[in-house]
């Protein structure tokens, strides 16, 4: 465990976490919504610091990033926990549970990343679950790898508060940010979160590092072409060069009552988004 950043002590040994827009008030012995920030005797700790559940050398296109160092590979690491509760989560075994994990220090991760350079590794991606709720570890690892000229990539839901984002962004080279839908209702009902902070993250990061955006297209939930059009229009108002990945839904976790996304829907969604954006890709097809 490592003492957390971005929190305040309040009355009766309670703490107030300011890492993400949930702004949890956490009593002694309890954890925040992400389950990985715990109040121990009036102090907030990150319980997933140095805990790695998945480590793999992946093609960069798998993040997905199609226009950042194409053809390269990236050492990809994840921990456990998430501040969202998406009922379609593909990685729920690590995002919504507290599984066993390996102990890995930031220096070890860097060493591994450097060793893999001769196999085409360009850096470290913090991915699989949500990197922002692994903040203290990701921040330390980013600083170390940045000194060695390696790239840092965050694959994130973008639900983070402005101050921590501002502090880490100088060390981040690329991001894939999920915009899970373009309605506040979807974020509230399906993900237990809110759309506006995610939009602010995309808008803030777009000119600070390389940004691509992913939307998982789910039948009858966010596959309305008007919604896709609004999403693409908003992205193009930031930059029409931001790549958008429209990925195919497959039934998973708590959302097993829906069919996989029809291929025709994805084609129509891509054609709609291409009216506004230069790069629109289909994923999981």
Q: Footprint of ligand SF4 on this chain (CB under 6 A)?
A: 17, 19-20, 22-24, 32-34, 37, 82-86, 89, 91, 95, 129-130, 133, 157, 191
What is d(CA 199, CA 203) in angstroms, rounded to the nearest whole number? 6
- Identity of the residue, 20 or 195, whose beta carbon is nearer to ligand SF4 in the bound complex: 20
Residue 142's nearest CA partner among 166, 163, 156, 123 is 123
Minimum separation from the CB atom of position 82 to ligand SF4 (A)? 3
CB 121, min distance to ligand SF4, A: 24
H/E/C letters for each residue in 182-218?
CCHHHHHHHHCCCHHHHHHHHHHHCCCCEEEEEEEEC
Query: Which of 92/204 has CB closer to ligand SF4?
Result: 92
Question: Which residue's beta carbon is nearest to the bound ligand SF4?
Answer: 32
Residue 23 beta carbon to ligand SF4: minimum distance, rounded to whole angstroms: 5
| Contacts with 273 (C-beta within 8 Å, 6 or more apart), sequence order | 228, 229, 231, 232, 244, 246, 280
Distance from C-alpha of 182 to C-alpha of 202, rounded to nearest angstrom: 13
Q: Give the up-direction half-sphere exposure of residue 20: CA atoms within 13 A in the CB hemisphere.
A: 27
User: H or E stretch including 126?
Assistant: strand 121-126
Q: Which is nearer to ligand SF4, 72 or 139 (CB)?
A: 139
User: Least CB distance from residue 99 to ligand SF4, whole Å?
Assistant: 13
Task: Return phi, psi of residue 208, to 5°.
Answer: -100, -30
Closest among 16, 11, 41, 9 to 28, alpha carbons compared: 41
The least CB distance from residue 25 to ligand SF4, in Å, is 9
Query: Which of 32, 64 has the CB closer to ligand SF4?
Result: 32
CB closer to ligand SF4, 34 vs 231: 34
* CA atoms of 198 and 214, how far apart (whole Å): 12
CB closer to ligand SF4 out of 17 and 217 = 17
C-alpha angle 227-232-234 in degrees, rounded to nearest 5:
95
Output the six-digit token pair for 225: 């072409």
Q: How far apart are CA 267 and CA 60, in angstroms?
A: 24
| Least Å from the CB of residue 108 to ligand SF4 | 24
CB of 119 to ligand SF4, least distance (A): 27
**Residue nearer to ligand SF4 on the CB measure, 4 or 150:** 4
- Smallest distance from ligand SF4 to CB 49, Å: 13
Nearer to ligand SF4, 34 or 246 (CB): 34
């Amino acid at each position: 465990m490592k003492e957390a950043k971005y929190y305040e002590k309040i009355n009766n040994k309670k703490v107030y976490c300011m890492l993400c827009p949930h702004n949890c008030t956490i009593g002694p012995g309890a954890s925040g919504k992400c389950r990985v920030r715990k109040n121990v005797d009036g102090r907030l700790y990150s319980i997933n610091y140095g805990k790695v559940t998945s480590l793999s050398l992946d093609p960069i296109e798998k993040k997905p990033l199609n226009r950042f160092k194409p053809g390269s590979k990236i050492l990809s690491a994840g921990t456990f926990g998430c501040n969202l509760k998406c009922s379609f989560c593909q990685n729920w075994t690590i995002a919504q549970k507290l599984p066993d994990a390996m102990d890995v220090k930031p220096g070890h991760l860097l060493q591994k990343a450097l060793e893999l350079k001769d196999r085409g590794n360009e850096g470290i991606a913090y991915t699989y679950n949500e990197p922002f709720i692994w903040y203290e570890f990701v921040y330390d690892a980013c600083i170390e790898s940045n000194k060695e000229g390696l790239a840092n990539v965050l694959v994130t839901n973008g639900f983070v508060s402005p101050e921590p984002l501002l502090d880490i962004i100088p060390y981040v080279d690329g991001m894939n940010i999920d915009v899970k839908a373009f309605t506040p209702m979807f974020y509230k009902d399906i993900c237990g979160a809110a759309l506006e902070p995610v939009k602010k993250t995309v808008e803030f990061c777009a000119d600070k590092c390389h940004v691509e955006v992913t939307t998982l297209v789910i039948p009858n939930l966010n596959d309305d072409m008007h919604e896709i059009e609004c999403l693409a229009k908003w992205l193009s108002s930031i930059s029409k060069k931001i790549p958008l990945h429209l990925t195919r839904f497959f039934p998973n976790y708590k959302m097993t009552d829906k069919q996989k996304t029809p291929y025709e829907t994805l084609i129509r969604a891509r054609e709609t988004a291409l009216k506004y954006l230069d790069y629109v890709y289909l994923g999981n097809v």
